[in-house]
A and B are shown apart, each in its own frame.
Chain A
Amino acid sequence: MSERLIIIGAGQAAAQAVQSLRTEGFSGPITLIGDEAYAPYQRPPLSKAYLLGTFARERLFLKPDTFYRESDCSLILNTRVRAIHRAEKTVELPDGQRLPYDKLLLTTGTRVRELTCPGADLAGVHYLRSIADVDGLQAHFRPGARLAIVGGGYIGLEVAAVAAKRGLDVTVFEAMDRLMARAVSVPMSEFFAAEHEKAGVILKLRTGVEAIAGQGKVERVRAGGHNYAADIMLVGIGVLPNDELALQSGLFCEDGIVVNRSGMTEDPSIFAAGDCTRHIGREGNAIRLECVQNAIDQAKHCALAISGKPATYSEVPWFWSDQYDLKLQIAGLARSGDRIVLRGDPAARKFAVFHLRDGIVAAVEAVNAAPEYLAARKWIAAGARIAPEKLADLSVPLKQMT
């Protein structure tokens, strides 16, 4: 008898898994359960083109509806799984119904970290994670509206760029001393700070939000000891892994569902992929990544393992962000202590920052510099050693670096 597979969580990793499972020859019935109203869709455009209004909703969907039918995959939407019963190998739905599985794949993703200061529950405080979130925000995006953004990370800054373009008055509050501190190097933070200021965005660094006040809705934000008037707020202060179902079923979790290099949890019938996992990175340490690349590549590895062909996951992580006409592309994971090498001139709005670790290319951050980004992806995967003087020298073509 062919095996029954249930996938919990209907995002990027789930869609990839269904496709890859069928490519790898998995023949059992697949049931995909998601808690949103939609079949798997792309989240990256939500804070970019979809918010800007230049990207219609139907373009967000990763697969056509026919894909699921043709893949013998039943979709159960608007449904939050209540429990996983590992001993009897069933998944319990909110109505008490228990669906049996032979293999289970968890692609539950993340949820937003919520603001906890006084007034955080006032109307007008928005988050951005889902289609519904953006649709809720859209209605308030009027020229001249005062938008207070909490968090100068990817989400906050992508929204700031869209809002500035749409004529809102934007202020970004960031508790750290620089933008995107968790994701990029100091020169990159400084470059993006200057670009946002050029667009009229007001940046308040080292400024944590202390309270929000207003009559029934957001009117003022108190941050760094000052009051700022605001009509609307967007909070982008990170995400938390949805690992509770796994945890409650007794699976080992540690800020994410712990999986091995083929995507398997400690239960050989249960696998996990994407933002919700803590896995062993290329450098041998346990990491949790929040990116499309990891969702896709881990899903492919889970599909291989579920189909009886486990393979070792050791892909180079990659990320991107679009702000104004700037395309930021990142590959590899930088670390403090890396030697930083600049190639190109930030003033030309086309440059790359390489990170060398013991002389080996470990990461790259590229702005409007796709060749540098792609070349570095290959170098990182190969563990290439390149002299910093050579990397910095624009007269040395990328193809002659190694």
Chain B
Amino acid sequence: MAKVTFIAHDGKEHVVDIAEGWSLMEGAVKNGIPGIDADCGGACACATCHVYVDPAWTASLPPIADTEEAMLDFALVTAPNSRLSCQIRVTSDMDGLIVRLPASQH
């Protein structure tokens, strides 16, 4: 279990517990976090679960894979700390993780 904070574009914070082995996206969707659409359900097929990882955490997350990087090219307003939350598998090391949501996924 890891406690993850999602900060919406308007600044509103949502803190949720996510089971190990789940993706960050699933944790967000299952907890009803607005701002993560995840239309494809985590198949890395839609780029609608884009998040910005807090700078303190970017180095400690698993590295970005080619497909994810390629998909991110097509997400709106990306930054060096952009990730697709469906591709981040939650581990207990991620307890305290903070991610921010973009204004829109579409």
Residues of A within 8 A of B (CB): 23, 42, 44-45, 59, 61-64, 66-67, 70, 292-293, 296, 318, 320, 322, 327, 329, 368, 370-371, 373-375, 377-378
| Complex CA distance for A374 and B73, rounded to whole angstroms | 9
Closest A residue to B37 using CB positions:
A296
Instruction: Give B40-82 interface residues, CB cut-off 8 Å to A.
Output: 40-41, 43-47, 67, 70-71, 73-74
A-B contact pairs, 18 of them (CB 8 A): A42-B41, A44-B41, A59-B22, A61-B30, A63-B29, A63-B32, A64-B30, A64-B32, A70-B32, A292-B40, A318-B45, A318-B46, A371-B70, A371-B71, A374-B70, A374-B74, A375-B74, A378-B74
Contact of A327 among B22, B39, B43 (CB under 8 A): B43
Q: A45-B41, A374-B74 are in contact. Are A59 and B26 (CB under 8 A)?
A: yes
Cα distance A327–B67 in the bound complex, in angstroms: 10
Chain A residues whose C-beta falls within 8 Å of the C-beta of B70 in the assembled complex: 370-371, 374
Closest chain A residue to B45, Cβ basis = A320
Which of A62, A64, A322, A374 touches B47 (beta carbons < 8 Å)?
A374
What's the nearest-Cβ distance from chain A to residue B43, in Å? 6
Task: Assess whether B31 is interfacial by the CB under 8 Å rule.
Answer: yes
**Among B31, B40, B43, which residue has its beta carbon within 8 angstroms of that of A64?**
B31
Residues of A within 8 A of B73 (CB): 371, 374
Query: Inside 8 A of A67's CB, which chain B residues have their CB?
Result: 32
CA distance A62 to B25 in the complex (A): 12
B residues near A (Cβ < 8 Å) are 22, 26, 29-32, 34, 39-41, 43-47, 67, 70-71, 73-74
Distance between Cα atoms of A70 and B45 in the complex (Å): 29
A373 partner residues in chain B, CB cutoff 8 A: 45
A370 to B67, alpha carbons, bound, how many Å?
A: 6
List the B residue with the shortest CB-CB distance to A66. B32
Known: A293-B39, A368-B67. A327 touches B45 (CB 8 A): yes
Cross-chain contact A374 with B71 (CB below 8 angstroms): yes
Find the A residue at minimum CB distance from B30. Answer: A64
Measured CB to CB, the closest approach of chain B to A298, in angstroms, equals 13
User: Which residues from A are CB-within-8-Å of B43?
Assistant: 44, 320, 322, 327
With both beta carbons as reference points, the residue of chain B lying nearest to A60 in the complex is identified as B41
Total A-B Cβ pairs within 8 A: 55
Q: Closest CB-CB distance, A75 to chain B, in whole Å?
A: 16
Looking at the complex, which one of A23, A62, A70, A318 makes contact with B29 (CB distance below 8 Å)?
A62
In the bound assembly, the distance between CA atoms of A322 and B43 in angstroms comes to 9
Tell me the complex Cα distance, A23–B32, Å: 12
Residues on the B chain within 8 Å of A66, using CB: 32
Return the contact of B44 from the options A62, A292, A370 (Cβ within 8 A). Answer: A370
Docked CA distance A44–B74 (Å): 23
How many whole Å from A300's CB to the nearest CB in chain B?
A: 10
Q: How far is the CA of A79 from the CA of B31 in the complex (A)?
A: 27
Report yes or no: B32 in contact with A292, Cβ–Cβ below 8 A.
no
Q: Is the CB of A370 within 8 A of B41?
A: no
Q: Which residues of B contact A61 (CB under 8 A)?
A: 30
Q: Chain A residues near B39 (CB, 8 Å)?
A: 292-293, 296
Nearest-CB residue, chain B, relative to A54:
B21
Residue of B nearest to A48 (CB): B43
- Give bound CA distance, A44 to B29, whole Å: 17
The 5 nearest A-B residue pairs measured at CB = A374-B74, A371-B70, A370-B70, A320-B45, A42-B41
Name the distance in Å between A126's Cβ and chain B's nearest Cβ: 23
Bound Cα distance from A59 to B86, whole angstroms: 13
Q: Give the residues in chain A near B44, CB-CB below 8 Å.
A: 327, 370
Distance in Å: Cβ of A380 to nearest Cβ of chain B: 13
CA distance A374 to B29 in the complex (A): 23
Nearest-CB residue, chain A, relative to B26: A59
Which chain B positions have C-beta within 8 A of A63? Answer: 29-30, 32
CA–CA, A322 and B44, complex, Å: 11
The docked-state distance in angstroms from the alpha carbon of A61 to that of B46 is: 19
Q: A320 touching B31 by the CB < 8 A rule?
A: no
Chain B residues positioned under 8 Å from A370 (CB to CB): 44-45, 67, 70-71
Instruction: State A50–B31 Cα separation when bound (angstroms).
Output: 21
Query: Using Cβ atoms and an 8 Å threshold, which residues of chain B touch A371?
Result: 70-71, 73-74
Residue of B nearest to A61 (CB): B30
